[in-house]
Chains A and B, each alone.
Chain A
Amino acid sequence: MNKYAAITVSRQMGSGGTYIGYQVAKALGFSYVDRQILRRAASLLNRDEVSLEEYEEKSSGLIQNLLRTFLLGTPETAYIPKERPIYDKDLFLLESKIINEIVDKHNAVIMGRCGFCLLKDRPKTVHLFIYAPRDYRTERIMKADSTADPREAQARIDESDRRRTKFIRDMVGTEWTDARNYHLCVDSSTVGLSESVQMVIGFVKKALG
C-alpha cells in the first residue's frame, strides 16, 4: 500500500510546466524533484553531473551509440579517458530506479523523465501534461533568453520537442503527447500560469483525496 503520493509533470519546453510543477509542489508541501535525479545518478555513477547532463532525456541513434563506445579509444591507443561511456538507456534505467525510490519515501512532484510511464499504475499518483501553442512558447523562450530573434527560440523549441518525443518513444514505446497517458492536460496559454497552477492544485487535491 503506497503511503506517499506522487505527481508527475511532463511539459513542453516554454509552456511554463517547470514553474507550474514547482508551485504545485510548494503549495501541497511535496518535494520538488528535478535536477536532484541527475545529481543522484552522477553520484552513483561516479561521474560529473555536468558531463552526464548531455545524455539525459536523450535517445541517441545507432551510429552515435556506436561511436560513443569508441570514446575509450582502442587497445592500441596510449591514452584511455577516465570516463566510461554512458548509454542513454542505462542512464534512463538508473534514473527510473531513483524515481521509484524517491516516491516510495516522499510525497513528490517528479519533473519529466517519463515519470508518467514509470509510475503508470501506481495508486495515489497523478500524471500531468503541460503544453501550449508554439507561438506562446516562442515568446516565453525569447523573454527567458533575452533574445530578439524568434527563429532561434523556435529552433530550440522544435529541437526539444523532437528530442523528447524520440526519447519517450524509444524508452517506453508511447507517444509523449498522447492524452491517454495523463490524468490532466493543461494548455497553460489559455488562462495563464497562475490560474493554471490553481487549477492543477484543485484537481490534484480532488484526485488524491
Chain B
Amino acid sequence: MESYKPHKWLVAVTVMTGTLMAALDTSIVNVALPHMSGTFGASIEEITWVSTGYMLSQVIIMPIIALLSSRFGRKRFYIFSVALFTCFSMLCGVAWDLSSMVIFRIVQGFGGGTLIPLSQAILRETFPKEEQATAMSLYGLGVILGPAFGPTLGGWLTDNYSWPWIFYINVPVGIINILLIMRFIDDPPYLVREKGKLDFTGLFLMSVGIGALQIMLEKGEQKDWFASNMIKYLAVAAFIGIVLFTIRELTTDRPAVNLRILKDINFSLGSCLGGVLGMGLFSSIFILPLFLQQLLGYPAYDSGLALIPRSIAMAIAMPIGGKTYNKAGPQALIALGLFVNAVSFYLLSRLSLTVGYWDIFFPQFLQGLGFGFIFVSLSTAVLSTIEKSLLTAASGLYNVIRQIFGSVGIALAATFLTRGENLYRALLVEHVTIFRDVVPESLHRLLSLLSSQGANVSGTDLEALKFLERMVMKQASMLAYNHVFFLIAALFLLSVPLAFLVRDPQRGKGAEVMREEYD
C-alpha cells in the first residue's frame, strides 16, 4: 500500500536532512581527531574510540530498528532518534574529557544508526510507484554526499572555528528536522504495532564481547599485551562474550542477529570479504588524516580535501561496477577491486616526508576505484543466495560484520602505528651515535643554524638534540605509517583468491518458465 501526500517533496527534504546528518557524521570526525587528541591529551589508540564508539553503537541498534519502530510508531521513533542524535551531538561538542566524549558519541550513534534505514522506508511509502525511482535517486544522492564532503566540511570547521563545531552544526539542522518531521510525516495507517520480544540478552553479550575486544586492542600495546592482567581479563571477557553471543543467537527463537544465515557458504565468504573491505576502508579513513596533519603538517581542511579524490573515484566506479556486474560477474569485479586497493595501499606505503599533493591524490583515486568495484559487486553477490524471507536479516548481519571488522581495523591500525613508531625509533636511534660522522656534522649544522637564528648559546646543544630527536621521531612515524599501509595492502592482496569463490546464481539468470504458469 502507498500513501501519496501532496507535500511529498517536503517529506523528501525532511528525511534527506536526517540521512545527510547521519551519513556526514561517519566521516566528518576523522579529520578532527588529531585536534581532539590534543585537547583531551589522548593517544592515537585512545582517540580511536571517538570513531569506533559511534560505529559500534550503530551495530548494536541496527538489528532492532524494525522492532522498535513498529512497537513505538515510526514517526515517534524517528523523532526520538533525531532528538537523541542532536542532543548528544551538542554534548559531544562540550565534552570535557575523552571518557565523556566517547560516551556521548556512543549514544549519538544509537540515534544516527536509525536515521538512514528509516528515511528510506518513509520515502518508499510517501512516493507513488511511478516516482519511486526518482525518490530513491534523491536518497542515494544524500547517502553519497555525506561521506564525500564530510572530511572537507569537518576540516573547514575545525580550522576556522574549532573541532566542537563539527558537532554543534548538527544542532540547528536537527531541530529543524524535528519540526519538519512533526509537520509533514505521518505513520501509514496499515503499520502494524508489533509486540515482539527484543533479544536484549544477545545484544548485551555482543556489546560485552566486541567492547572487550576493542578495549583490549586499544590498550594492548600500552600494557605490553598479555604481560598485563587487565589485557588477560579483557581477552577472556571478549572470548566468553562472543562465544555466549554466538550460542545465544543460534539457539534463541528471535535472535537480534541471525547467525544461522552463516550456514550459507556464499554469504559467509562474502561477509568475510566485507570484513576485509571494512578493515581496510575504516583503518585508512582513520590514519590518513593523522598522517597528513601530524606528519606532513596539512591543516585539517587540506587533509579533508585530500580525501575527496577517493570519493570521486568511488562515485565513478560504483555505477560502472553496477552496470557491468551482469556481464563481468562478481568474481572479476571483486578481485579487480581488491587488487587495485592492494596497489593503492602499496603506493601509500612508499610515501616519504617530502611527498606532494599528487603523491597522495593518485593512491586515493585508485582506492576509490577499488572500493567502488568491491562494494557494489560484493553487496549484490553476498545476498544473492539468500532466500527472500531472510534477506532483511542477512543484510543486517552483513552490515554488522562490516562495521565490526571496520572498528577492529581502526583499533589494529592505531596499535600497529604506535608499535611501529616505538620499534622504528629504537632502530633509527641505534644509528644516531657520535661514532657516525654524519651525526656530529648534522649537530654542528643545527647548532650553527640555531645560533644564527638568535638562540641563547648556552641552550643550543639541548635544542639541537631535541631537534634531532624530533627528526628521528618523525622519520620513525613515517616508517610506521608505511608499515601499516603495507599491511593493509597485503590484506587486500591475500584476499584476492577468495573473490573467485564468491558467486551469484541470479546473475544472467535463465528464464525457465513452468508450463502450468501460463496455461
Contact = CB atoms under 8 A, between A and B. Distances in A.
Whether chain B is bound by chain A comes out as yes
Interface of A: 31, 33, 36, 40-41, 44-47, 50-51, 53-55, 58, 60, 63-85, 87, 90, 94, 97-98, 100-102, 105-106, 108
Contact of B395 (A54, A68, A82): A82
B513 A80 contact: no
Given A36-B517, A46-B391, A85 B375 contact: no
Contacts of A81: 117, 120, 395
B515 A106 contact: yes
A31 B62 contact: no
Nearest to A47: B388
B23 A94 contact: no
Interface stretch (B96-104, B129-137, B353-361, B473-481): B129-137
Given A54-B132, A78-B59, A80-B399, A67 B140 contact: yes
Nearest to B380: A84
Nearest to A99: B511
B139 interface: yes
A73 B517 CA distance: 37
Contact of B383 (A69, A82, A87): A82
B277 interface: yes
B319 A36 contact: no
A33 B517 CA distance: 10
Contact of B322 (A51, A75, A87): A87
B120 A76 contact: no
Among B143, B374, B509, the one with the most A-chain Cβ atoms within 10 Å of its Cβ is B143
B281 A75 contact: yes
Interface string B20-51: 00010011000000000000000000000000
3 tightest Cβ-Cβ pairs between the two chains A and B: A70-B140, A67-B137, A97-B511
A54 B133 contact: yes
Nearest to B318: A69
B62 A76 contact: no
B506 interface: yes
Contacts of A78: 26, 55, 58-59, 62, 113, 116, 399, 403
A71 B141 CA distance: 8
Contacts of A55: 133
Contacts of B376: 69, 72, 85
Contact of A108 (B318, B402, B518): B518
Given A53-B129, A69-B321, 5 more contacts: A63-B137, A68-B322, A70-B137, A78-B58, A82-B395
Interface string B378-409: 01100110111001101100110011000000
Nearest to B327: A90
Interface of B: 23, 26-27, 55, 58-59, 62, 113, 116-117, 120, 129-130, 132-134, 136-141, 143-144, 146-148, 277-278, 281-282, 285, 314-315, 318-319, 321-323, 326, 371, 374-376, 379-380, 383-384, 386-388, 391-392, 394-395, 398-399, 402-403, 506, 509-513, 515, 517-519
A21 to B, nearest CB: 14
Given A31-B519, A46-B391, A80 B27 contact: no
Contact of A77 (B116, B374, B510): B116
Contact of A69 (B117, B138, B140, B515): B140
Contact of A45 (B113, B138, B506, B518): B506
18 contacts: A46-B386, A46-B387, A54-B129, A60-B133, A64-B137, A65-B319, A68-B137, A70-B141, A75-B314, A76-B27, A76-B281, A76-B285, A78-B55, A84-B380, A85-B322, A94-B509, A101-B512, A105-B513
A104 to B, nearest CB: 9
Given A78-B58, A87-B322, A31 B518 contact: yes
B133 A64 contact: yes
B519 A106 contact: yes
A74 B319 contact: no
Given A69-B319, A79-B399, A80-B399, A74 B375 contact: yes
Contacts of B322: 68-69, 85, 87
Contacts of B394: 82
B134 A46 contact: no
Given A54-B129, A54-B132, A58-B133, A74 B519 contact: no
